[in-house]
Structure 1
Amino acid sequence: MTRRTVVADTRSFRSDIQGLRALAVGLVILAHAGFRTASGGFIGVDVFFVISGFLIIGLLLREAGESGRISILDFYARRARRVIPAATIVLVATAVASAYVLPLVRGAEVIKDSVWAAFFAANIRFSLVETDYFSQGEPPSPVQHYWSLSVEEQFYIVIPLLLLAVAVVVRRRAGEAAEADRVRVLRRTVFVVLAAVTLSSLAWSIHVTATSPTGAYFSTAARAWELGIGGLAATLVWGRAPRLGRWATEAVLAVGLALIAFATLRFDAQTAVPGSAALVPVLGSALMLAAGSTTGASSTYLFRLFSIAPARVVGDWSYSLYLWHFPVLRLCEEYWEEPRLSKPHLAVALVLIFALSAASYHLVEQPFRKGVRWRPRLRAITLYPVSLAMVVVTAVGAHAWVDGQIAALEDNPGIAVSDYGRDGLSKDPTVALVEASVLAAQDDRPVPGGLEPALGSVRESVAPLGDCDYRTGTRKLCAFGDPDAERTIALMGDSHARHWSPAIDAIGREHGYRVYVFVYSGCPAITFTRLTDGGRPWTECADFKEWALGQVRELHPDLVVLANNAYQSAAMKKRQVGALRDQLELLRPLAGKVAMIGDSPKLPKAPGTCISERDVDLGDCLQEPETGPTRIQGQFRQTVEDLGMTWVDARRWFCAEDRCPAVIGNVVPLRDREHVTVEYSTLLADPIAAALGIAEG
């Protein structure tokens, strides 16, 4: 996103591109601020990608055409001056503000996110933790929008080197040819190479968007074609101003704008992007950029509309606006405890966004871009390590402050059944501890110290799968429990089966069972296969379930244990109970015994997040489970019992009389709103073994 926009052939200032930038950042802010009429405003990022590809590849082409080469050091020096200073300031400010404003658990996560973002790897971070960009459960990270900056910078690691190679080859082969001929060959060669990269990326994007939407959203490989489309448009107009009459140009601009408007108004969180759907705003942006390069462009109404002074100012500030808007909106929502800001608070947030952006543009962006101090390229390149050092030092300090706040809880006592006597409590010690923990919350006792898992690592308490994480495509068999045992247990299901795997592993080790864990997040062990977010068949899930069933057939385990989430979509509500019955019937002849573990409760707020808020006690975090999943789990139970199979009622180990404590004894039972921590799952090994008939109760 360079500030002075240059047309490749004339080098004249393109004021209309500043207006297009203003439109893109405006759409993104409207979408993230919650304006329903701009539900597809997130496509502003796609518009930015096309603009970036058009400008950056256009500048590299011009350099290659003039000198026959590309200076990689000069390129990265320009990127450093342009991108790093403002991005660093916002990261540092956001890390500090998050440590102070957010609950301690979330603040610690944002600090980690900031470090990843400083390495231009935010997209990798959010893809690895399987962040859902449109998730309504947990608020997104205030620096989640840095994923797009990471995609750009990763793209620009490869493309300059590729274009340099093309330029060198063309220069050597052209020899003494006339400059015009060399430029023509360079344009043609670059177009072919860039088209190959773009089409490959587009094909991959369509595939991976259908099979792994979250991963595709953050993927550089799945997004590169958007920058490539911009680069192809720049290649076509480079070195010439295409002749097109005023009204023809007006029509092309109007079509491009209409495509962007259509995507803004019709796309929403369910739209499968960045696959084929993203072609709509991407092609619209490319048409507007190409049309603005024609001879008749400057006289058109739309060109002049996008060139008016307010649009140019917002376009100038667009980079800072993009950086500041998301953390300000997210932290304001947290500060005012509003999932969606009220109109007065939104107005305050927008004023703050524009004020910070104006200051950032004038005091940070411009001095680094235009000041003589950072003009030498080697000095500019040092901005990379300086930025990393600043963010890492800030992160270490902020994390130490968070750890200090958590350490202040250490002297608070844990919860024991003996605190409330035995009268009135269950004779089952595990259930009695839950009941005592509910009483402790009703007494507003402080959050205990010595929590397991530690409060700062609650979200990381995910059951390990070793080499058998089947989401990676592997088809290995991993023996957990007692690998040398003759008896066998097979655990099947989705992520809600995965969170029971530490308990089943412990049972196997204690009672002499080999344990095989056939789990795949989001893919329940039923005969009906969910569709992807784009509405396509989820073939990876179907293929895995067919393979897993074949493995169970060969193993013929002594016990098969199922556990599934209760899905709330219309299709799953209609089909999942009957499909569970069919699955259980399939498994009956393949195992000595079939059982199902009921689900953990789904709570309004993650326990770890709640107890890490400031000035809260256990009573503030005593919650009631959501009724929808509870009702569906009841249908699961009826199905299992009707078939004469074993149902394990897990709800009693989390809640008493529909009151679910955030801490049970000194253990945090859930890592988020519904998934069991490794520590609590392991703690429940003995009661689960008793419920399954493996051990005495």
Structure 2
Amino acid sequence: MIALLPNRPASATVPEPASPPAKGARKAGFYRHDLDGLRGVAIALVAVFHVWFGRVSGGVDVFLVLSGFFFGGRLLRNSLTAQTLPSPRAEITRLVRRLLPALVVVLAASAVLTILIQPETRWEAFADQSLASLGYYQNWELSNTAGDYLRAGEAVSPLQHIWSMSVQGQFYIAFLVVVLLCTALLRKPLGRNLRIFFLVLIGALTIASFVYAIFAHNADPSAAYYNSFARGWELLAGALAGAAVGSLRLPMWIRSLMAVVGLAAILSCGMLIDGGQEFPGPWALVPVGATILMILAAANRQADPHCRGKMPLPNRVLAWGPLVTLGALAYSLYLWHWPLLIFWLAYSGRTHATFVDGAVILAVSGVLAYLTMRYIEEPLRYRGAAPASVPAVKAPLRQRLRRPTIVLGSTVALLGVALTATSFTWREHVMLQRADGKELAGLSTRDYPGAKALLNDARVPRVPMRPTVLEAAKDLPISTTDGCISNFKNADVIKCSYGDTDATRTIAVAGGSHAEHWLTALDLLGRMHNFKVVTYLKMACPLSTEKNPLIMGSNSRYPQCHDWVQKAMAEIIEDEPDYVFTTSTRPWNIKPGDVMPGTYIGIWEEFAEHGIEVLAMRDTPWMVKNTKPFFPSDCLADGGDSVSCGVKRSVVLAPENPTLEFLDRFPNLKPLDMSEAVCRADFCRAVEGNVLMYHDSHHFTATYMRTMAPELGRQIAAATGWW
């Protein structure tokens, strides 16, 4: 998430020197210490807001713009002024030397901490994200996860922050290809007009990416947050500033105003704008525009007679030594602070860091960042030469420096290979376990009575729990694997048939995944009692009249749900099923127990108007601790038992089914309540009858659902009179 390239002169009037200049050197043009300081401010904002406020500060967007400015501006200047084109191989090698060593070290350390601190149920996600981080597609991995409701409740990844480095890596390669290709093809035909061509091209791409970001953000904010195409305009804006900055001539008072406004916007952005919800949409113009102002405010100050060799005061403040030093640490500090925060929270069991915790985390991150920069980044970046602070070294000294550098480089490379191999090996192990778990559908009810242990006091023998903690994540209803539930992005109503597909009696299963997971039992009952089950399902979308609902368990708005509900209701009414099976309650977000939301009433009214009866299922108890959902499988893998990994019944269920209060008003409601098959009189355990009940924090495993089929059948028979 950092402006990842080494510090470079930022004067657009002078080509970059071939080798890193000494700090503060003015071989030609001038050195932008203020932008180093701006990076220091940005990393401070990112770290502080992450650790103590749990918010997006806008510092990430500052880094993206600076990355585009440093890399894009330098590449454009070299392409326009050099006699020969920059070597793609040399550019890529330079990027690899700069970026990968520190990343590999942090990933390796995170892998060790994952094994020591995290339950094995989290190792697969870490392996996936390690590979994604090394391959620079971590942002797409997270984007897909954000759109996967089955993984939406997972604990925050210690590698989540690497998404922006993946965006930058993809940008570097794409921009390098475009610039070199256009230069090779158009340098002779366009001559001096090549610069204008690049300004027009980059400007057009910036606008196109920005427009795309608006639409993507409106459609799916969570996925758009990590989308390379939605983020591209921020880097392109920096590159555009690098291409256009050479022609800027402004009076000092205008530059000073630009700098004051820009710095104030950057410092206040995190408190005034919820970047996690609003970026990369139009509100991202605030940190992006502010960074552009800071870049332009001190551009060409030597060449511009209006500036008289001075920078605006805010830029001079940013050029202060401690901020410049912090900027030099920005890449390593960003790599370290996030995983240390996440591992501490996992180890301590807390949901947020205290002031003291946060201060220690930041201090340790700073020490590790310095050590990483001094002993890993700099030696490998300069391939055995002295670091940038040493202007020249003699040949014998250079040779002595190079020998340990070869050892260091080999060690880092071996770490990367080991991390990759270990990630693939663990993924294969998990896949084999799940392949062996295909017999879950045929488990002996004698050994695995599940819900019968609660309902019928069935004997529970001593056998290993199934599904295992590694099998549970994929113990899903068949509709999920069949693709019969619309995802977050899909606005279509997908209808699939289960049970006795030739039957004339029909039950429509409608709403979100909390209606869907009952399909395992309904499918069995349909085949047994001759009725058809038709699905009308969308992830995280219960039938409701709420126009802009929140995704349950998060603060993300979900306007697509309302549009889908209207379509689904129209199709259900047209299809005229005998019954609609859907959830009728939700857990409270603000107090213990469950409730029937007022936004469900309009749905019951519409069904009543069309003479459709509703099998109103009381919703699933959520596994929560300190108001936060948790995975029982994680708890069990971490040494817990069925009780310690459960929850008090009074926390998740009201004393009486809230639906019962509305029966007089809506006679078409037929209440179903499976709470006695899930919870004991005072406690809801994680395991009953040797069967793990949940595959996440609030969806039943298909295995446990099969054990509830007889009781569900008894209640449906009483409601319908069909058998």
Shorter chain as denominator, the TM-score bin is: 0.7 to 0.9
Measure, in 2, the Cα distance between the counterparts of 1:674 and 1:340: 23
Partner residue of 1:412?
Answer: none
- Map 1:75-90 to 2 at 5 A: 75-90=91-106
- Deviation, structure 1 residue 88: 1.4
Measure, in 2, the Cα distance between the counterparts of 1:640 and 1:84: 63
Cα 1:637/1:518, change in 2 over 3 Å: farther
- Deviation, structure 1 residue 546: 2.0
Measure, in 1, the Cα distance between the counterparts of 2:673 and 2:230: 43
Question: 1:235-268 CA deviation, whole Å, 9 max, x = no partner?
Answer: 111xx26333433322211111111122122123
Measure, in 2, the Cα distance between the counterparts of 1:131 and 1:192: 35
Q: Is the 8 A contact 2:433 2:470 kept in 1?
A: no
Question: 1:282-317 CA deviation, whole Å, 9 max, x = no partner?
Answer: 110111112232313753322222122211221111
Q: Is the 8 A contact 2:511 2:542 kept in 1?
A: yes
How many residues are paired up? Answer: 652
Partner residue of 2:455?
Answer: 432
Pick from 576, 580, 589: which aligns with 1:560? Answer: 580
Cα 1:27/1:107, change in 2 over 3 Å: same
Measure, in 1, the Cα distance between the counterparts of 2:473 and 2:321: 47
Measure, in 2, the Cα distance between the counterparts of 1:569 and 1:50: 38
Q: Is the 8 A contact 2:506 2:578 kept in 1?
A: yes
Partner residue of 2:645?
Answer: 621
Q: Matched residue of 2:244: which SS? A: helix
Q: Is the 8 A contact 1:60 1:160 kept in 2?
A: yes
Cα 1:582/1:402, change in 2 over 3 Å: closer
Cα 1:116/1:165, change in 2 over 3 Å: same
Partner residue of 2:13?
Answer: 9
Pick from 45, 62, 74: which aligns with 1:47? Answer: 62
Measure, in 2, the Cα distance between the counterparts of 1:381 and 1:77: 13
Q: Is the 8 A contact 1:607 1:673 kept in 2?
A: yes
- Deviation, structure 1 residue 100: 1.2
Partner residue of 1:638?
Answer: 661
Partner residue of 2:497?
Answer: 479
Partner residue of 1:527?
Answer: 545
Pick from 52, 74, 99: which aligns with 2:115? Answer: 99
Cα 1:611/1:574, change in 2 over 3 Å: closer
Measure, in 1, the Cα distance between the counterparts of 2:287 and 2:430: 42
Partner residue of 1:268?
Answer: 274
Measure, in 2, the Cα distance between the counterparts of 1:369 and 1:205: 34
Which AA in structure 2 matches 1:613? D
Question: 1:51-86 CA deviation, whole Å, 9 max, x = no partner?
Answer: 111111112202221247453323322221111111
Partner residue of 2:677?
Answer: 653
- Map 1:534-613 to 2 at 5 A: 538-563=558-583, 566=586, 568=588, 577-588=597-608, 593-604=613-624, 605-613=630-638
Q: Matched residue of 1:455: which SS? A: coil
Q: Is the 8 A contact 1:492 1:562 kept in 2?
A: yes
Q: What runs of 5+ residues in structure 1 fail to find an aligned partner?
A: 407-414, 441-447
Partner residue of 1:115?
Answer: 131
Measure, in 2, the Cα distance between the counterparts of 1:449 and 1:276: 57
Partner residue of 2:78?
Answer: 63
Partner residue of 1:411?
Answer: none
Q: What runs of 5+ residues in structure 2 fail to find an aligned partner?
A: 17-29, 302-306, 386-400, 403-407, 435-442, 625-629
Which AA in structure 2 matches 1:502? T
Measure, in 2, the Cα distance between the counterparts of 1:153 and 1:137: 28
1:28 paired with 2:46, answer yes
- Deviation, structure 1 residue 649: 0.5
Partner residue of 2:23?
Answer: none
Which AA in structure 2 matches 1:452? R
Q: Is the 8 A contact 2:145 2:152 kept in 1?
A: no
Measure, in 2, the Cα distance between the counterparts of 1:341 and 1:546: 43
Identity of aligned residues (%): 27
Q: Which moved more, 1:637-646 or 1:118-127?
A: 637-646
For normalisation by structure 2, the TM-score amounts to 0.81
Question: 1:86-127 CA deviation, whole Å, 9 max, x = no partner?
Answer: 111111211221111112222443233222222222222222
Partner residue of 1:213?
Answer: 221
Cα 1:247/1:461, change in 2 over 3 Å: farther
1:393 paired with 2:388, answer no
Measure, in 2, the Cα distance between the counterparts of 1:683 and 1:21: 57
Partner residue of 1:140?
Answer: 156
Cα 1:306/1:60, change in 2 over 3 Å: same
- Map 1:278-293 to 2 at 5 A: 278-293=284-299
Q: Matched residue of 1:518: which SS? A: strand
Partner residue of 1:677?
Answer: 701
Partner residue of 1:444?
Answer: none
Cα 1:459/1:18, change in 2 over 3 Å: farther
1:504 paired with 2:522, answer yes
Pick from 18, 33, 36: which aligns with 1:18? Answer: 36
Q: Is the 8 A contact 1:594 1:646 kept in 2?
A: yes
1:336 paired with 2:336, answer no
Question: 1:383-417 CA deviation, whole Å, 9 max, x = no partner?
Answer: 999776332223356779999999xxxxxxxx999
For normalisation by structure 1, the TM-score amounts to 0.84
Pick from 315, 328, 334: which aligns with 1:303? Answer: 315
Q: Is the 8 A contact 1:103 1:609 kept in 2?
A: yes
Q: Matched residue of 2:582: which SS? A: strand
Measure, in 1, the Cα distance between the counterparts of 2:454 and 2:555: 42
- Deviation, structure 1 residue 147: 1.3
Q: What do you get for the CA RMSD once the two structures are aligned?
A: 3.9
Q: Matched residue of 1:690: which SS? A: helix
Q: Is the 8 A contact 1:131 1:214 kept in 2?
A: yes
Which AA in structure 1 matches 2:635? C
